[in-house]
Amino acid sequence: MFPALRPAAVVLLVLGLTGCTAVAEPRPASSAGVAAGVAAAVAGEAGSDLGNGRPTVTFDGLLVRRRVVVAIRSQDAADLSVLRGRLARAGARLRLPLLDVSPTVLDADVLEQLGPQLIVALPEGGTVGDAGTILDLVSSSGGALPAGVQFHIAPVLVHDLRLTVRTDEPVALQEAIDREGILADALGDYRTSSGNGELRIDYTGPLLSDDLIRSIRVGIAGPARAGADDVSVSPRSTEGIGVQMETEPVPGAVPTPSVHGHTG
C-alpha cells in the first residue's frame, strides 16, 4: 500500500521512454503477413532497448512531447468509470481536456510497482501543478473519493505523430486497416481523417520503437497498394516544443522521489 496524501501533494517524477527510427520495407504479400509482422514487432518491443531501459529514438524533435499524466489505481474496478467522468469534468473546468493513454507510457519499473488501471494525460503545456489542482477539484466538487483509490502524477514523454499515405479511396483504406486490425495492437488508440487524396492517422501515446514504426508503415502500405516509403511520418503539430532524445538523461540517472498515493 502507498502512504495516504491529499491529491495536490501526489507527485511522482518519472520519464517513460521508448521509441525509434523508420526504415522502408517492401510491400508485404498479404494482409495476414502484415498483421503478423506488426504483432511480432509489438511482441519484440520489450527487447528493443540499448541496455539502459531506453530504445534508440530518432523520431524525435517535434514528434516527441512532454506530457503530464495521472495514473489511477482502485481496489474496485467499478469506481474507474465514475472517476474518469469526475476527472473529465474537473479538467474541463480548467480548460484542460484529458486523453486516455496506455499505461505503458510509464517506465517499466514504475508501471510494475504502481499497476495503474487507468491513465489520463493532460494536454501539452499542462503541468504537475495543474494535475494536482484537477485532483483537488475531484475531491472537493464530487464528494468523498471511494476507499482504496490511489492517484499518481508523472511527467512522461509521448510520441505525438501523424502517418500519412496517398490514396484515391481513403474511406475504403481506413475500413481495411480497421477490419484487419493492422494498427490496433501496435497503437491501441488512434484517430483517422481524410482529405485531398490522403488518409491521415494521428497517434498520441507511448513512444514507438524503430521496428514497430517500420512494421506500422508496412502495415499501412499493404492495403494502400503503396510502398512503405510512401507512408510519411511527421509531427501531428508543428507548434510547441519538441524533445531531442539524445539530450535526455537515461532512465534512473536523475533521482526521483518515493512513490506516493492518495487513498480516499
Q: What's the rounded Cα separation, in Å, for the pair 57 and 117?
A: 27
The two counts, helices (H) then strands (E), for the chain are 7, 7
Q: Is 122 exposed, middle or buried (0-12, 13-18, 19+ CB in 10 A)?
A: buried
CA–CA separation, 229 and 206 (whole Å):
23
Q: How far apart are CA 155 and CA 15, in angstroms?
A: 6
> What pTM was computed for the model?
0.75
Q: If you search the block for the grid coordinates 527487447, which residue do you land on?
A: 47
236 Cβ neighbours under 8 A, 6+ residues apart: 160, 161, 162, 202, 203, 204
> How would residue 3 be classed by pLDDT, with cut points 50, 70 and 90?
very low
Report how far residue 119's alpha carbon sits from residue 24's, in angstroms, rounded to the nearest whole number.
33
Q: Tell me: the pLDDT tens digits for 160-210?
A: 999 999 999 999 999 999 988 889 888 988 999 999 999 999 999 999 988
pLDDT bracket for residue 142 (50, 70, 90):
low
The domains located in the chain, with CATH, are 7-15+65-157 (3.30.70.600), 31-59+159-235 (3.30.70.120)
